[in-house]
Amino acid sequence: MRRTALADIRDALESLEIPRDRVVFIHSGMIKFGLLEGGSAGLLDVLRDVLGPDATLVMPAFTLSFGRSRVWHAADSKSEMGVFTEFFRTQPGVKRNIHPFHSVCAQGPLADAVVAGLCPSSFGPGSAYDRLYDLDALNLSIGTEFVGGATYLHMGEERARVPYRFMKEFPGEVRDATGGLIDMTFTMYARTMTDEYEYDTDWSLWWDELTEHGCFRTADLKGAMFCLSEIKKTLGVFETLILADPFRHARAFPRPAA
């Protein structure tokens, strides 16, 4: 089995020259590291050290299974975004915002600012992603590719009201960290899908185009990618391009016959 030393993780992170003591949204994929020295606790220690003592760490705690279960509890619903995000969710002092699909967890000086408030949509005004934008947060992906490592771009799709998505309501039971019932119907800006066709986006083309605009800094650790971007800057480029051509990299594909 492949083994990865924490010193190698640190070297990859430091090569990105990440500004210290910022709000940093972290996506992770642990599989490519194999047996990681120190496990999740070791990785979290390295991140805190590299990012600075006054950094605010934010991680996804998404629960896309809400579309089926229609039950979500802030205190109990586990993150479905990998073992490291679930480990982070359960750490002392970590706070979680309220959204049954796209919640995030945060720890640090600006954690309250990240998770405060309620927004019915995943990426709309007042959402955690909107707050990350206002806080000029960085986006850091560790061991994950562009797909799955830059979910903030969906915020650009929602803000641009792209025509290949629509706002879909998902009523259900949503409770806060104390067990209180949230009186709100939550939504997702879902891909348009009919009996004949469905829309999908070729994110590899977006990766190429945003890379050409200098939006990413990357490092490689034996095939595992590390990627840093500025959320506000990258969204600015993305929204300019997608407003000019909403179907820039989105296409309708026929659905297979039943």
Average pLDDT over residues 217-224: 95
Class of residue 162 by CB neighbours under 10 A (exposed 0-12, middle 13-18, buried 19+): buried
Chain centre to alpha carbon of residue 4: 24
pLDDT level of residue 43 (50, 70, 90 thresholds): very high
pLDDT level of residue 257 (50, 70, 90 thresholds): low
Average pLDDT over residues 190-198: 85
Average pLDDT over residues 144-149: 90
What is the structure's pLDDT at 197? Answer: 81
DSSP the chain: --EE-HHHHHHHHHHTTPPSSSEEEEEE--GGG-EETTHHHHHHHHHHHHH-TT-EEEEE---TTHHHH-EEETTTPPPSS-HHHHHHHTSTT-EE-B-TTT-EEEESTTHHHHH-SB-SSSSSTTSHHHHHHHTT-EEEEES--STTT-TTHHHHHHHHT-TTEEEEEE--EEE-TTSPBP---EEEEEEPB-SSEEEEE-HHHHHHHHHHTT--EEEEETTEEEEEEEHHHHHHHHHHHHHH-TTSSEEEEEPPP-
Name the residue with higher pLDDT: 132 or 197. 132
Q: Which of 44-53, 143-152, 188-197, 218-227 has the lowest mean pLDDT?
A: 188-197
User: Measured in Å, how far apart are the chain's first and last C-alpha atoms?
Assistant: 42
**pLDDT of 161 higher than 80:** yes
Tell me which residue of 136, 113, 96, 110 sits closest to 54, measured CA to CA.
110
Which residues are paired to 199 by β-bridges?
252
**pLDDT of 254 higher than 90:** no
- Sign of torsion over alpha carbons 162, 166, 169, 175: negative
**pLDDT of 150 higher than 60:** yes
Tell me which residue of 60, 39, 50, 54 sits closest to 15, measured CA to CA.
50
Are the beta carbons of 129 and 152 closer than 8 angstroms?
Answer: yes
What is the structure's pLDDT at 255? Answer: 80
pLDDT level of residue 188 (50, 70, 90 thresholds): very high
Average pLDDT over residues 208-224: 96
What is the structure's pLDDT at 258? Answer: 57
What is the structure's pLDDT at 119? Answer: 96
**pLDDT of 256 higher than 80:** no
Q: Where are the domains of the chain?
A: 3-251
Q: How far apart are CA 174 and CA 166, in angstroms?
A: 22
Encode pLDDT of 80-123 as tens digits.
999 999 999 999 999 999 999 999 999 999 999 999 989 999 99
